[in-house]
Amino acid sequence: MTALIQLRGINKYFGDYHALRDIDLEIKQGEFFSLLGPSGCGKTTLLRTIAGFEDPSAGTLSIDGRPMAGVPANKRPTNMVFQSYAIFPHLTVAENVGFGLRRDPRSKAEKAGAVKDALEMVGLGGYGARSAHALSGGQRQRVALARALILKPKVLLLDEPLSALDRKMRELMQVELMKLQRQVGITFILVTHDQEEALVMSDRVAVMFDGQIRQMDDPEAIYTRPRSREVAAFIGKMNFLPGTLHSSGEGVEADVAGLGRAMIPPDRVTPGLGSGPAVIGLRPESLAVLFEGETTTRRTVEGTVDEVVYYGDMTYYDVRIAGVDEPLNIAMKNLVGRDVLEVGTATRVAWDERSLVPLAP
Amino acid sequence: MSGGRILGIYAVLYLIFLYAPIVLLPIFAFNDATIIAFPLSGFSTRWFEALWGNAALGDAVGNSLFIAAMTAILSTLLGICAARAGAMADFPGKSGILGFVMLPLVLPEIIIAVSLLIVLRQVLDMQLSNWTVIAAHTLLCTPFSIAILNGAFQNLDPSIEEGAMDLGESRWGAFCSVVLPLVMPGIVSSLLIAFTISLDEFIIAFFLTGSNPTMPVYIWGLLRFPQQLPVVMALGTILVALSIVLLAIAEFYRRRGLARAGLKDSGGFL
């Protein structure tokens, strides 16, 4: 597969504000790519740059081998689903979906057929004659999708498309978007601040902070092998323990506060991180509290339950261990027959060397 | 007496105070006597007939209608530009400039009239004509147009225009195909209100008309002849009716615009 979209050294300034810093990016044909980051990190600016609504201050962008400098938004092979959906309220659903076909030389009947197909694709068959301003949030989103996809763009850009929906609808649309993307085979670029959304839907995720891409990987790598403390803290929950790394011929050994010495598995070693002080990350679900009488082959450490948060399917424990200021956050599945420990209970915490994530302090 | 009752009486008195003088207009316009006084002496439409036969008045009305129409178009065009810039563009000194544009709204008309007269006659050495009045009325009405159109443009989702561009329209095409239809009720409303303001504006017109007066200026001239007073009343009646109709149409369009965009009403002129 070749790169469909290429960004080289993209920088963007708004006055003195440096919104995008040296963005290098290649996105493949048919990929579901996410730009993930907190608000103000530049992800929407980057998307708007690809769409042609912002001109980069420096750098080059090409789509399908064609340089995009000087090509306005209406001439680019991209279409966008806006955060507000930008549905035209004075038109019907069918007129909205057919809007981009107005300059199309095909006959009226052919265009009407295309509109009908597009509406059926997003599950809105029979809604064509309705007035667009009377639609619900989820329906607006579908109209926005149909309106963009009917033009068969090379790239579909989605700017926080699910953020205006309620939780149930959002989860439903996540699955529908993934199905739709596989069905049409078009490259999707999704902007989101919701890490779960990015992990669920994407083939690859770029995590952005302060106008820079900090890490670009598949969802599993982003989650299990974050390369910086910022990324680790932004994606899911993570315990951070102070420690020291010792590099030697046999590999990297860590001295972790509260846990002791441990060998870091070779695939977990962060490139460029040598001997010296470090922070060791541990996901809450990679730890376990041991119930009375329970035995394990994993390494353990003594602790006291400090806080219990019950979620129904899960219980989150804060457990204090000797030698660490912050309690360890531990996620436990609520299995049948397993009690929830009370605050103040003395317990043991089980952990593995395999789940340690060494990070720069 | 309960507080609600006092408030009710106050409201009624307030309305009488506001509208009683206007109610007198039609009463004496249809009264069959030259003297404006009670008791009334009988129903007559002869004052309206006298209006009809007055050629000088016809000219004045024609002038006023032309001036009002041109003023409405010019101030609405300027208003569209300013409101769009205010809602969609960002430029240095934006809030200062937009505030400055609204200033004629609170400037005493007599001052505008005198300074315009000086500029036009002394500085530019122009002949006074309908066009000088149009220019002055445009100055007066543009802030009103901006105020009305601001509402229309600010209710608009800015990504609507980008959405149309994304779907293949040029900037101008996007403006015409999407933005214009959505702000059209505001445009109609602005046209009608500017028209109404210009139609019965007196002070500026009095200073800036050339040899052919506008209707309000002509009415003022009539007042010097007491026997013409009932004619003025008849003309006034027509003007009030016309103003009410125009403002009602303007308000209808403003509300329809809000309903179309699915928005809550947040004030207006009526």
Q: What is the pLDDT of residues A68-98, one digit of tens each?
A: 988 998 899 999 999 988 899 888 899 999 9
Which of A73, A103, A133 has the CB atom closest to B166's CB atom?
A73
Residues of chain A with CATH 2.40.50.140: 283-352
Q: Is the pLDDT assigned to residue A224 strictly greater than 80?
A: yes
Give the mean pLDDT of A101-123.
88
Quick one: pLDDT at residue A283? 93
For residue B265, name the pLDDT band (cuts at 50, 70, 90). Answer: low
pTM, full prediction: 0.79
Q: Which residues 44-83 on chain A approach chain B with CB closer than 8 angstroms?
A: 51, 53, 72-74, 78-80, 82-83
Q: Round the average pLDDT of chain B to a whole number and report it.
A: 83
Which of B165, B168, B262 has the CB atom closest to A133's CB atom?
B262
Contact with chain B for residue A100, Cβ under 8 A:
yes
In chain B, what residues touch A147 (CB-CB under 8 Å)? 167
Give the mean pLDDT of A21-32.
93
Would you report the helix, strand and coil content of chain A in percent, each value rounded to 5? 25, 35, 35
Distance CA A295, CA A290 (A): 8
Q: Is the pLDDT assigned to residue B1 strictly greater than 60?
A: no
**Chain A residue with minimal CA distance to B261?**
A89
What B60-64 contacts at long range (C-beta under 8 Å, 24+ apart), as own/partner pairs, is B60/B212, B60/B213, B60/B214, B60/B215, B60/B217, B60/B218, B61/B215, B63/B130, B63/B209, B63/B212, B63/B213, B63/B214, B63/B215, B64/B198, B64/B199, B64/B214, B64/B215, B64/B216
B261 to A89: CB separation less than 8 angstroms, yes or no: yes
B163 to A53: CB separation less than 8 angstroms, yes or no: no
Most confident of A3-7, A271-275, B33-37, B215-219: A3-7
Quick one: pLDDT at residue A131? 85
Sorted by sequence, the CB contacts under 8 Å of residue B10 that are 6+ apart come out as none
Distance CA A65, CA B69 (A): 55
Distance CA A27, CA A199 (A): 17
In chain B, what residues touch A53 (CB-CB under 8 Å)? 162, 165
Give the mean pLDDT of A332-342.
85
Quick one: pLDDT at residue B267? 47
More confidently predicted of A249 and B214: B214
More confidently predicted of B21 and B13: B13
A276-282/A239-248 β-pairing = antiparallel
Q: Is the pLDDT assigned to residue A44 strictly greater than 90?
A: yes
Distance CA B127, CA B130 (A): 10
Fold (CATH) for A3-224: Rossmann fold (3.40.50)
Residues of chain A with CATH 3.40.50.300: 3-224
Which of B143, B145, B117 minimizes the C-alpha distance to B132? B117
In chain A, what residues touch B181 (CB-CB under 8 Å)? 90
A74 to B165: CB separation less than 8 angstroms, yes or no: yes
SS3 A6: strand
Contact with chain B for residue A102, Cβ under 8 A:
yes
CB A112 within 8 A of CB A60: no
Quick one: pLDDT at residue B127? 79
DSSP secondary structure letters along B200-244: T--HHHHHH--SS--HHHHHHHHTTSGGGHHHHHHHHHHHHHHHH
Quick one: pLDDT at residue A15? 86
For residue B269, name the pLDDT band (cuts at 50, 70, 90). Answer: very low
The 10 Å Cβ neighbour count of residue A310 is 10
Quick one: pLDDT at residue B67? 92
Contact with chain B for residue A103, Cβ under 8 A:
yes
Q: Round the average pLDDT of chain A to a whole number and report it.
A: 90
Which of A53, A90, A99 has the CB atom closest to B181's CB atom?
A90
Distance CA A133, CA A122 (A): 18
Quick one: pLDDT at residue A107? 87
Quick one: pLDDT at residue A309? 93
Quick one: pLDDT at residue A76? 92
Q: Is the pLDDT assigned to residue B37 strictly greater than 80?
A: no
- Complex ipTM value: 0.79
Quick one: pLDDT at residue B270? 40
B168 to A83: CB separation less than 8 angstroms, yes or no: no
A32-36/A187-192 β-pairing = parallel
Percent with pLDDT over 70 in chain B: 94
Distance CA B4, CA A88 (A): 46
The whole-angstrom distance between residue A163's C-alpha and the CA centroid of its chain comes to 13
Q: Which CATH number fits domain A283-352: 1.25.40.10, 3.40.640.10, 1.20.1640.10, 2.40.50.140?
A: 2.40.50.140
Q: Is the pLDDT assigned to residue B163 strictly greater than 50?
A: yes
Distance CA A46, CA A206 (A): 12
Which of B151, B152, B121, B149 minimizes the C-alpha distance to B136? B121
Q: Is the pLDDT assigned to residue B255 strictly greater than 80?
A: no
In chain A, what residues touch B157 (CB-CB under 8 Å)? 84, 86
In chain B, what residues touch A86 (CB-CB under 8 Å)? 157, 159-160, 162-163
Q: The tokens of A51 are what? A: 């769409």
For residue B59, name the pLDDT band (cuts at 50, 70, 90). Answer: confident
Q: Write out the residues of chain B at the interface with chain A, using a CB-CB cutoff of 8 A.
A: 157, 159-160, 162-170, 173, 177-178, 181-182, 260-262
Which of B167, B178, B182 has the CB atom closest to A147's CB atom?
B167
**In whole angstroms, how far apart are CA B248 and each of B191, B212, B255, B268?**
13, 30, 11, 12
Q: The tokens of B213 are what? A: 């007066």
Distance CA A236, CA A198 (A): 12
Q: Which of A1-5, A94-98, B56-60 has the lowest mean pLDDT?
A: A1-5
Interface residue of A50, A80, A130, A150 to substitute, partner B, most B CBs within 10 Å:
A80
Distance CA B147, CA A101 (A): 36
Which of B159, B164, B182 has the CB atom closest to A84's CB atom?
B159
B170 to A72: CB separation less than 8 angstroms, yes or no: yes
Q: Is the pLDDT assigned to residue A183 strictly greater than 60?
A: yes
Give the mean pLDDT of A336-345.
85
DSSP secondary structure letters along B128-197: P-HHHHHHHHHHHHHHHHHHHHHHHHHTS-HHHHHHHHHTT--HHHHIIIIIHHHHHHHHHHHHHHHHHH
**Chain B residue with minimal CA distance to A82?**
B159
Q: The tokens of A35 are what? A: 């730009």
Tokens 């068959």 appear where?
Answer: A125
Quick one: pLDDT at residue A271? 77
A82 to B159: CB separation less than 8 angstroms, yes or no: yes
**Helix orientation angle between B229-260 and B180-199, rounded to the nearest 10 degrees:** 170
Quick one: pLDDT at residue A93? 92
B160 to A86: CB separation less than 8 angstroms, yes or no: yes
Q: Is the pLDDT assigned to residue B77 strictly greater than 80?
A: yes
In chain A, what residues touch B168 (CB-CB under 8 Å)? 74, 100, 102-103, 151
First to last CA, chain A: 37
More confidently predicted of A60 and B130: A60
The CA distance from A61 to the nearest CA of chain B, in Å, is 17
Q: The tokens of B173 are what? A: 């095409």
What A104-109 contacts at long range (C-beta under 8 Å, 24+ apart), as own/partner pairs, is none
Q: Which of A328-332, B188-192, B265-269 has the lowest mean pLDDT?
A: B265-269
Q: How many interface pairs between A and B have CB atoms less than 8 angstroms apart?
A: 60
Distance CA B81, CA B73 (A): 13
Give the mean pLDDT of B150-176.
87
Contact with chain B for residue A151, Cβ under 8 A:
yes
Peptide bond into B39 cis (omega under 30): yes
Q: In what order do the strands lie in the sheet with A3-14?
A: A17-28, A3-14, A58-63, A66-67
Q: Is the pLDDT assigned to residue A260 strictly greater than 70?
A: yes
Contact with chain B for residue A168, Cβ under 8 A:
no
Q: The tokens of A96 are what? A: 């909205």
CB A247 within 8 A of CB A333: no
